[in-house]
Structures are given as structure tokens and as C-alpha cells.
Chain A
Amino acid sequence: MNRVLTAIVEPGFFGSAPVHVALLAGGVAAVVSGVVGTFMVMRGQSYAGHALADISVTGGSGSFLIGISPLWGFAGTSVAAAGIMDLIGVRRPRGRDLATGIVRGAGLGLGALFLYWDTTHTSTTGATVTILFGSMFTIDSSVIPVVAAFGLAAVGIVAALYRPLLLSSASSDLAVVRGVRVRTTGALCLVAIALAVSLSALTIGAVLSTALLVGPAATALRLTARPALVMLWSALTGLAATWLGILLAFDSYYWPPERQGWPVSFFVVALVLIFYLLAQACPAGRAGKPGRGVGRCSPRS
């Protein structure tokens, strides 16, 4: 028994301080992303989330320039970008995608410039890969309280707006009739997404954070139709993917090529995808999903 355990969990896994920090920060990021991501997927805002993630590269690279924790940069730029998107965003899905894309392009362009300065003016050559693809084992333990605060803020927004958000996600017209301020609700939801993105960006990297936001939520939407349960499943799926990913990455130190661990982000993303495909394969709960068909509704004949 003990030998089996040692084969799965390499010795030293639970004793290592970076692993503790990674488990903690990764766990918070996964749960928050799972909860917030549920609304993102139901509202068909995957692209907005992805764009915010890309833009947070700008903040991450900027924070390397001035020498603060990338988390501040990630959160600052993605929340700011959420505001800009809401400001110029057209409510129609098509125009919204376009506006989102333009903001993303301009923001990421700035990110390119900052990264260029990172690599030329300071000696942080690894910044590009760290920011884009994350490095969970190098998270500084001092950011844990900030991670927790951001996580609480994001979940708090979603919890406070639970009913109006749900209503306006299902039918914006109905929400207006019921007196929901759709615009404000949407903007706050975008802020929650931005916070979740910044947490995930810290753990699995800015361009991969989409995986934790979309994957678990899409998986959960396959499993059940009740919104509260969807959130629970989504958070659990994300958590499982993150923690298993950390474990596998720790073990992979002894895999080929020798003495060179595989990146955590790769495992997390791979596990998220595997969970999603498994959920796809299971036929239960296909009918009557909330928000199902929003993205691919057929044109009115």
C-alpha cells in the first residue's frame, strides 16, 4: 500500500513549500474560475474571458518592469480592460466580439512592448514564458492573502448578483421586464470574470487561463441542468484538474527527458480537456440545459 502511494505521490510532495503555495493558490484560482466561468459560458462570453486573459499579459509584463507581483498587474489590466469593453462594447453578440477583439489587439500590442522592454532593459528573460504559460511552483507565498481577497471579491460579486445574473443570462428581455439593470449586471459580471482571469493567469499562465474558466464550466453544464449544481461541479472539476496537474508535474521530474519537469500548465489543461471529453461522452443530462442553444440558435425562419 505504502509503495503504491509512493509511486503515485513522489516522496517530498507534501513536504515542499512551493507545492503548498501552488496547491493553495491553484485551488483558489480553480474554484473561483469554476464558479465565475459557469456564468461566462452560460452568457456566451467565452471570447470576452479569453480576451481579458490575453490583455492581462500587458499587466503581467508591466509588473515585471516595475518589480511588483504579476498578480497586481494581471488584475489591474484585466479589470480596466473589462471596463473599456463594456464602454465601447455593443450589446449585440457580433459587434461585441469585434469590439472585444479590437480591445484585445490593442492591449496585447502594449503587452508585446512591455515584454520587449522586460527582455531588453531588465534581466528577466524568463518573463515571457512565465507570464504567458505560468509557473505554479514559483508563486511567491506572500501573494496568498491577495489571491484569497480577489477570489472572495469575484465569488462575492457572483453571489450577490446570483438571481439577476441568471435571469439576464437566460433571457435579457425577460430580465429587463423584471426590472434587472442588465447593463450594470453585465458590467459587474465582466469584472468578476476579470478577477477570476487574473487568478488563473497567475497559476497556469495568461493565455491558458481560458482553460480553467471555460473547460470546467462546459463540463459541468453537460452533467447537470441546475445552476447551483453546475457551479459546484464546475468548481470541483477545476480543482481536481489543478491539484492532479500539480501532482503529475511534481512526479514528471523523473520522467523523460531526465531531470526536467513537464510544465504544470500542460497537465492542468490536458486534464480539463479530458474531463470535458468524458462528460461529452456521457449522455445523461443532455436535455433542458440552461442557456443551451444560446450560442447556436438557428436563425428565425
Chain B
Amino acid sequence: MTDTWVVATIVAVVAGVVGFFVVLRGSAFVADALPTGAFAGAAGASLIGVSTLVGLGAFALLGALGIGWLGRRSRHDVAVALALVAMLGLGALFLSFSVEYAPEIYSLLFGEVLGISVNEVAPVAVLGAACIAAVLVTYRPLMLSSVMPELGEVRGVRAHRIEMCFLVVLALATSMALPVVGALLIFSLMIGPPAAARSVTDRPLLAMGLSVVLAVVTVWAAIAASYETNWPVGFFVGAIGAACYAAGRGWAALRRTQTPQPGPLASARARRVSA
């Protein structure tokens, strides 16, 4: 149980940080597609008998590269959708071959509290540190290309390269979070808290910090509730994520009635709309 808490906390911190950029860049679909598709990797890994984490990582990276590759030659949302169904189609095939029973598939899809073993703590910690480090290293260009792509181009930020870096980080974060929260609901963890944080403040570091805090609280509450009721973790993560978002929108609506104070992100948002 302690291992679950440790792993879940790491996962939540990473999801909070990475999710902040997901929301900022508006790449919700990619953040949704990568985990769902990576699920096929887990099914494949159990088929050939390697560690789930390896399968997840391989498929998440493959998916990220595939989206990057397809995205160059076609509409972005179409590329994401096709990469996603390609992976899921393989997943359906793997599942039909594997001898896994339904509960195991189910816990991969929707998360399980006790799905974490001791020897998964170290890899998750390393992957988590790698994700955070990658975000920190690319922080300025990532921020610039997310908020003001035009200015980024002028300053020499290569949008495509940054996009690929971001996709890889997303893939890593995905593959470590998947066994805890489940393939279909990591995404709620990644956009619920950051979206709420964005509505509350326009200062990037503050928003990121808030998003991490909210994500950690979400995961802890979800795991505790799941442990109590024996219901799937994913249900609670989805519900709390939506509640975060609703609270954020409520807060923003409340503040809009008072005097608006546009920060740097708000003006960027305004530019986006006009562009």
C-alpha cells in the first residue's frame, strides 16, 4: 500500500506539471490518445511475457512518433485519431490472443489501487524525474512556443522539434501513470487540475504549482475512496477531475464579474483567439 502511495504521488506530480503544458498548448486530444493507445502495449507485453512498463513505454513512444510523423502530412486531429485507432486495433488483436482474464484487462483500462508492486517504484521514480527534468530543461522554449508560437519562431524556437520533445515527455508520463490510474483516465488527471489552476491564476509558475497540488490531492482522494469502496480508481479520478474543472470555471466566472486583471497568459490567450 505504501508503494502505491509513493508511486501515485510521483505520478500525480508529473501529471500536474506535464498536464499544465497540455492545457496550455491545447493538445488535449494527444494527451487523451497516447495513454489509450499505449494500453495496447501492455496487452502485447503480457502476450510475449515482458514487463508491462516496457510494453507501455514502447507503445507510448511509438504512438508519439507516429503522431509526429502523420501530423506532418495531414490534419493534426486526423493524425492523432488514426494513430490512436491503429494502436487500439493492435490492442484488440493482442487481447484476443492473450490468456489474460477480464479483470486484468479491466484494471489496466481503469486503474487499480493494488496494481503496483515494490519493484515498480524505482523505474517510476526514474521516469518521473526524467519527465520533470525534460520539462525544466525545455521550460523557456516550451513556454514560448505554447503561448506565443509566432514570437517563438522569431526567437529561433523550432516548433516541430519542441512538439516532438513534448510528445516524448507525454509518452513517458503516460506509461508510468497508466498502471495506477488506468489507460482511459490518466487524461482526466492531466487536464482537470491544470485547467482549474489556469482559471485561477495567469502566472505560469503559480499555476503549475497549483496544478501539481490539485493533482496530488485528486490522486490521494481517489485512491483512498477506491480503497474504501473497492470501486475503480478511474471513476473517482474522472469525477474529481471534472469537479476541479467545474470549480475553476465557476471561479473564473465569478472573477470576471469583478475587475479583470490580465496577466501574461491572459493576453496570450486573447492573441490566440484573434489569431
- Where the two chains meet, the residues of A that have a C-beta atom closer than 8 Å to any C-beta of B are 41, 44-47, 49-51, 54, 92-94, 97-98, 100-110, 112-113, 115-116, 119, 125-129, 132-134, 205, 207-208, 210-211, 214-215, 218, 257, 260-263, 265-266, 268-270, 272-273, 276, 280, 292, 294-296, 299-301
Residue count of chain B within 8 Å CB distance of chain A: 62
Asked if B75 and A296 make an inter-chain contact with CB atoms under 8 angstroms apart, the answer reads yes
Closest 7 CB pairs of A and B: A109-B238, A105-B188, A269-B89, A106-B242, A295-B75, A94-B26, A211-B85
Q: Is the interface of A mostly helix, strand, loop or mixed?
A: helix
Complex contact A272–B81 (CB within 8 A): no
- A113 adjacent to B93 (CB under 8 Å): no
Mark out the residues of chain B between 100 and 133 whose CB falls within 8 Å of any chain A CB in the assembled complex: 101-103, 105-106, 109-111
Is B245 a contact partner of A102 (Cβ separation < 8 A)? yes
Q: Are A106 and B82 in contact (CB under 8 A)?
A: no
- With A and B bound together, what is the CA distance between A272 and B96 in angstroms? 20
Q: Which residues of B contact A301 (CB under 8 A)?
A: 150
Contact B106 A128 (CB under 8 A): yes
Q: Please tell me which one of the listed residues A41, A54, A102 contacts residue B242 in the complex, with CB atoms under 8 A apart.
A: A102
**Do A299 and B93 touch (CB < 8 A)?**
no
Pick from A54, A93, A102, A116: contact of B184, CB under 8 Å: A54
Which chain A residues border B188 with CB–CB below 8 Å?
101-102, 105-106, 108-109
> Chain B at the A interface: mostly helix, strand, loop or mixed?
helix
Q: How far is the CB of B271 from chain A (nearest CB, A)?
A: 9
Q: Are A218 and B78 closer than 8 Å at their CB atoms?
A: yes
B8 at the interface (CB under 8 A from A): no
8 contacts between A and B (CB under 8 A): A45-B77, A49-B81, A98-B26, A104-B32, A210-B84, A263-B96, A265-B92, A269-B89
B236 to chain A, nearest CB (A): 7
Within 8 A of A (CB), among B149-182: 149-150, 182
Least distance between A25 CB and chain B CB atoms (Å) = 18
User: What's the count of A-B pairs with C-beta under 8 Å?
Assistant: 201
Q: Indicate if the CB atoms of B93 and A116 lie closer than 8 Å.
A: no
Chain B residues near A97: list those with CB within 8 A.
Answer: 26, 28-29
Interface check B231, CB cutoff 8 A:
yes
Check: B73 CB closer than 8 A to any chain A CB. Answer: yes
| Closest partner residue, chain B, to A107 (CB atom) | B238
Q: Name the contact of A211 in the complex, choosing from B89, B237, B242, B275 (C-beta under 8 A).
A: B89
- Cβ of B59 under 8 Å from chain A: no
Pair B232/A218 contact, Cβ less than 8 Å: no
Bound form: Cα–Cα A192–B159 in Å: 36
B136 to chain A, nearest CB (A): 25
Which residue from chain B places its CB closest to the CB of A116 in the assembled complex? B232
User: Looking at the complex, which one of A93, A116, A215 makes contact with B85 (CB distance below 8 Å)?
Assistant: A215
B86 x A269 contact (CB < 8 A):
yes
A92 nearest in chain B by CB position: B273
Residue of B nearest to A47 (CB): B29
Given contacts A112-B185, A263-B92, are A101 and B191 in contact (CB under 8 A)? yes
B5 at the interface (CB under 8 A from A): no
Q: Once the chains bind, are A295 and B78 in contact (CB under 8 Å)?
A: yes
Taking a contact as CB atoms under 8 Å apart, the answer to whether B89 and A102 are in contact is no
Given contacts A133-B95, A218-B75, contact A46 B81 (CB under 8 A): yes
